[in-house]
Amino acid sequence: MQKILIVKTGGTFPDYAVERGDFVDWTAQGLRLAADRWESVDVQAGEPLPAPAKFAGSVITGSHDMVTDGFPWIEDAKAWIRQAVHARLPLLGICFGHQLMADALGGRAGYHPDGLEIGTADITLTGAAGDDPLFRGLPECFPGHVTHSQTALELPPGATLLATGLHDPHQSFRVGESAWGVQFHPEFDAPAILDYITRREPELRKNSLDSARIRAMVRDTPESASLLERFSAYCMSR
**Residue pLDDT, tens place only, 113-132:** 999 999 999 999 999 999 99
Residue 207 confidence (pLDDT): 86
Domain boundaries, the chain: 3-237
Dihedral pair phi/psi, residue 161, rounded to 5°:
-75, 125
Which residue numbers are catalytic? Answer: 95, 185, 187
Residue 211 confidence (pLDDT): 94
**Residue pLDDT, tens place only, 7-56:** 999 999 999 999 999 999 999 999 999 999 999 999 999 999 999 999 99
> Which pTM value belongs to this model?
0.97
Question: Predicted confidence band at 234 (pLDDT cuts at 50, 70, 90)?
Answer: very high
Fold of 3-237: Rossmann fold (3.40.50)
